[in-house]
């Protein structure tokens, strides 16, 4: 009877090395890359038990597990949108690893969207302190007013982290230059709206 | 394109962390030396941050809505089948109660017909459904992912218990295996119904002494009922029953299990168990995941996952206690496998 002891971290590393993506994972990745958010719900459902168990075991509660998994799936979403993203493990293993990183950061009272999980590394504003810097309703209204195409384009650029070529492909623009020009227009439109809606002290530096 | 501010693209690249080397150096120098440029960078950063935060908030909201919707953790088709079976159970148990309380009326009821149609398999399913229903009563969604099951003590005499209005139960009479846990559903499966012929069904129902709802002290004092002695009661319907002394009543132990399935480079199946807050956290290494269930039989614990069954040793544990990672021994004893229906 073989006895062995492995720390959680080592197990995770080994899993990442030894596991490979399954056909189903690949399908889900492709759906994520094409912008299908429903896959996130499926992944949430499939991984909830595992993440919940981990969080409960590590000083967390049910609510923490839900929140953590949602954040991890958002990170996955953003990562998948990047051209150079390569999944070298099972999706569930990847999600577990992201959850672990996020949870360890939270336990260490570190900000959630730091380091490699952050799409916009030079930004000092995160979703966590979003409500402190502006009124969500104002922004939502401004985002609605710039139109669906602009909203989608800006979110693809600033939130998903897509480059202009990807945006052009996904939004069926002629080429990256067209996407760039459109993005510029949308940005200016949003900037004008925001300047007119938000207090200067709150927003414009 | 000609009207585009050339700085916007550069600032975007900075925000996205795409500048490096000399390009980044030049950017930072410009940032420090040109206040107007610095203001523009800050402004663009904030707009980008707002869009980012907006996207994050929207996606989070989407996930919250979708995952908190009952549909995500709602009952599976299998469980729905169990739930449907629970209706049969309630109807059947009500028939038994009524029959025992008023045998004459019972004779007029198609009790035997129900017994005929209730196969052993269905009875098992019904038992599962009953326990499932109990697990879901409090509306705690965690029950869907964490298991609660009941481990009835063996070899206790049949007991009549005080029950809730919608509850029907009987004590365990034999050391038969009971499913304790799975991390999918709050299910307890009693497998003590090998073949349920009409005759054995009658015998069993006679032995089980159907549970009846006893009244509170205040209700007993009402004229419609009378308390005969410390343990004997007369119900409203004229039936009698015995309330077992507290010490001899069946005690039910609730065991909760939470599973994590991991793979390691060693391909040997192994488990590590620890217990915190009355929950057993079972980390399964190299065990195929597949609707895991834990069975208890004669104080031995078995984990069934996928198509294999393993014995979980050193259980039960005290809170804070932990078993080392040890190889999980696959159960091959056909007697045990047949008991858990594999």
Tens place of pLDDT per residue across chain A (205 aa): 233 333 343 333 333 333 455 678 888 888 888 888 889 998 998 898 999 988 888 888 888 898 899 999 998 998 888 877 887 788 888 899 889 888 888 877 544 444 444 555 555 444 444 545 556 677 778 888 899 999 999 989 988 888 888 899 888 899 999 999 999 999 999 888 888 876 655 554 4
Residue B43 Cα to chain centre, angstroms: 51
Per-residue pLDDT, A159:
86
A42 close to B (CB below 8 A) = no
Per-residue pLDDT, B115:
36
- Given a cut of 70, whether residue B104 has pLDDT beyond it is no
Q: Using the 8-state DSSP alphabet, how is residue B314 labeled?
A: S
Residues 170-199 of chain A with CB under 8 A from chain B are: 177, 180-181, 184, 187, 190-191, 194
Per-residue pLDDT, A161:
86
B314 close to A (CB below 8 A) = no
Cα B318 to Cα B323: distance, rounded to the nearest angstrom:
11
Which residue did the predictor score with more confidence, B307 or B198? B307
B180 close to A (CB below 8 A) = no
Per-residue pLDDT, A73:
92
Per-residue pLDDT, A150:
92
Least confident piece of the model among A173-187, B35-49, B109-123: B109-123
CA–CA distances in Å: residue A52 to residues A55, A56, B101, B106, B292? 5, 6, 47, 49, 16
Number of C-beta neighbours around residue B192 at 10 A? 18
Interface test with A, best of B40, B46, B182, B269 (most A CBs within 10 A): B46
Lookup result for tokens 């809730």: B164
- Percent of the residues in chain B that have a pLDDT greater than 70, as a whole number: 44
- Contact state of A190 with B1 under an 8 Å Cβ cutoff: no
- Percent of the residues in chain B that have a pLDDT greater than 90, as a whole number: 3
A125 close to B (CB below 8 A) = yes
Model confidence over B235-284: pLDDT tens digits? 555 565 555 444 444 444 567 788 888 877 777 888 888 888 778 888 88
Instruction: Determine the average pLDDT of the residues in B96-112.
Output: 48
A107 close to B (CB below 8 A) = no
Per-residue pLDDT, A105:
80
DSSP letter for each residue of B80-117: HHHHHHHHHHHHHHHHHHHHHH-HHHHHHS-HHHHHHH
Helices (H) and strands (E) counted in chain B, each on its own, are 10, 12
- Its pTM stands at 0.45
Among chain A residues, the shortest Cα distance to B142 is held by: A62
Rg (CA), chain A: 20
For residue A78, give both structure tokens: 């953003």
- Given a cut of 50, whether residue B102 has pLDDT beyond it is yes
Instruction: Determine the average pLDDT of the residues in B202-228.
Output: 44
Q: Report residue B60's pLDDT band, with 50, 70 and 90 as the boundaries.
A: confident
Cα angle: A44, vertex B320, B183; to 5 degrees? 30
Per-residue pLDDT, B44:
87
Model confidence over A161-192: pLDDT tens digits? 888 888 998 888 999 999 999 999 999 998 88
- Contact state of B66 with A133 under an 8 Å Cβ cutoff: no
> Which string of b and e fits B126-135 if b means at least 16 CB within 10 Å?
bbbbbbbbbb
For residue B22, give both structure tokens: 């000399």
Query: What ipTM score was computed for the predicted complex, to two decimals?
Result: 0.75
- Given a cut of 60, whether residue B159 has pLDDT beyond it is no
Chain A nearest C-alpha distance from B6 (Å): 10
Least confident piece of the model among A6-10, A181-185, B8-12, B118-122: A6-10
Residue A45 Cα to chain centre, angstroms: 17
Phi, psi of B148 (to 5 degrees): -120, 135
CA–CA distances in Å: residue B245 to residues B11, B19, B160, B209, B250? 79, 79, 10, 16, 10
Per-residue pLDDT, A3:
32
For residue B173, give both structure tokens: 């009479």
Judging contacts by C-beta atoms under 8 Å, the chain B residues touching residue A160 are 55
- Given a cut of 50, whether residue B133 has pLDDT beyond it is no
Least confident piece of the model among B2-6, B211-215, B322-326: B211-215
Per-residue pLDDT, B209:
41
Cα angle: B267, vertex B272, B273; to 5 degrees? 155
């Amino acid at each position: 009877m073989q006895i062995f002891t492995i720390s959680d971290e080592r197990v995770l590393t080994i899993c990442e090395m030894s596991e490979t993506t399954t056909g189903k994972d690949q399908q889900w990745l492709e759906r994520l890359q094409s912008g299908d958010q429903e896959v996130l719900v499926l992944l949430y459902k499939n991984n909830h038990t595992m993440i919940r168990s981990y969080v409960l075991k590590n000083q967390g509660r049910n609510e923490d597990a839900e929140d953590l998994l949602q954040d991890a799936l958002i990170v996955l979403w953003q990562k998948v949108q990047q051209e150079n993203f390569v999944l070298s493990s099972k999706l569930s293993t990847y999600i577990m690893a992201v959850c672990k990183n996020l949870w360890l950061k939270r336990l260490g009272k570190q900000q959630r969207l730091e380091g490699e999980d952050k799409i916009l590394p030079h930004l000092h504003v995160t979703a966590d302190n979003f409500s402190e810097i502006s009124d969500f309703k104002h922004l939502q209204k401004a985002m609605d007013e710039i139109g669906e195409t602009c909203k989608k384009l800006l979110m693809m650029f600033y939130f998903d982290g897509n480059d202009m070529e990807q945006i052009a492909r996904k939004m069926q623009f002629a080429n990256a230059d067209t996407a760039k020009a459109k993005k510029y227009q949308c940005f200016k439109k949003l900037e004008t709206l925001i300047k007119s809606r938000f207090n200067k002290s709150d927003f414009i530096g | 394109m000609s009207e585009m501010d050339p700085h916007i693209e550069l600032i975007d690249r900075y925000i996205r962390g795409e500048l490096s080397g000399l390009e980044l150096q030049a950017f930072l120098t410009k940032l420090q030396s040109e206040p107007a440029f610095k203001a523009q960078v800050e402004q663009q950063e904030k707009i980008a941050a707002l869009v980012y935060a907006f996207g994050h908030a929207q996606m989070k909201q989407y996930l919250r809505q979708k995952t908190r919707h009952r549909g995500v953790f709602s009952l599976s088709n299998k469980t729905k089948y169990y739930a449907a079976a629970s209706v049969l159970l309630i109807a059947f148990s009500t028939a038994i109660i009524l029959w025992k309380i008023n045998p004459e009326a019972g004779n007029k009821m198609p009790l035997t017909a129900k017994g005929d149609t209730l196969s052993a398999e269905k009875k098992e399913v019904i038992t599962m459904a009953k326990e499932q229903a109990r697990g879901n009563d409090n509306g705690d969604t965690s029950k869907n992912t964490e298991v609660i099951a009941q481990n009835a003590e063996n070899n206790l005499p049949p007991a009549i218990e005080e029950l809730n209005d919608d509850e029907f139960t009987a004590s365990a009479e034999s050391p038969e295996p009971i499913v304790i846990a799975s991390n999918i559903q709050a299910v307890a499966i009693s497998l003590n119904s090998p073949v349920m012929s009409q005759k054995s069904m009658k015998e069993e129902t006679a032995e089980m002494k159907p549970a009846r709802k006893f009244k509170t002290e205040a209700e007993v004092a009402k004229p419609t009922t009378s308390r005969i002695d410390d343990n004997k009661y007369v119900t409203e319907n004229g039936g009698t029953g015995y309330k077992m002394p507290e010490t001899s009543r069946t005690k039910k132990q609730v065991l909760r299990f939470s599973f994590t399935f991991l793979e390691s480079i060693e391909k040997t199946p192994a488990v590590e168990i620890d217990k915190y807050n009355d929950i057993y956290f079972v980390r399964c290494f190299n065990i195929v995941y597949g609707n895991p269930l834990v069975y208890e039989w004669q104080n031995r614990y078995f984990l069934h996952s996928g198509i294999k069954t393993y014995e979980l040793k050193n259980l039960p544990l005290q809170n804070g206690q932990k078993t080392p990672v040890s190889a999980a021994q696959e159960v091959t004893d056909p007697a045990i496998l047949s008991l858990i229906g594999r």
